[in-house]
């Protein structure tokens, strides 16, 4: 798997090529490719943050086996700044 920094460098490389190209369709294609690299880099960075936080949650809870999905989802919710689903349900009742 590529590192996010490498993907961002590729995006900048392709954006730099745009200065030397005059064909409109080629410019559009290069711009879309650069955007894809940026999007992939952002997704990779988010995944790394979630993985790190899920591991921290696992450690905080005493390293229980078989609860990796729960820890992953908790990490995603924390990083997104949203309430945990169970918390929202309890607050409505």
As given in the structure block, the two tokens for residue 15 are 């954006």
Q: How confident is the model at residue 62 (pLDDT cuts 50, 70, 90)?
A: very high
As given in the structure block, the two tokens for residue 16 are 């730099």
Vertex 80: Cα angle to 77 and 84 (nearest 5):
25
CB 84 within 8 A of CB 77: yes
CB 27 within 8 A of CB 40: no
pLDDT > 60? residue 30: yes
Which of 3, 33, 4, 8 is CA-nearest to residue 18?
33
Can you give the pLDDT at residue 1?
A: 46
Q: How confident is the model at residue 87 (pLDDT cuts 50, 70, 90)?
A: low
CB 9 within 8 A of CB 18: no
Mean pLDDT rounded to a whole number for the chain: 86
In this prediction the pTM is 0.69
Rounded mean pLDDT, 54-81: 94
């Amino acid at each position: 798997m590529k590192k996010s920094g490498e993907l961002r460098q590729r995006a900048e490389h392709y954006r730099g090529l745009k200065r030397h190209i005059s064909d409109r369709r080629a410019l559009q294609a290069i711009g879309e490719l650069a955007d894809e690299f940026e999007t992939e880099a952002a997704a990779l960075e988010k995944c790394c943050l979630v993985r790190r936080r899920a591991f921290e949650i696992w450690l905080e809870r005493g390293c229980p086996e078989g609860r990796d999905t729960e820890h992953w989802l908790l990490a995603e919710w924390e990083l997104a700044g949203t309430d945990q689903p169970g918390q929202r349900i309890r607050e409505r009742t």
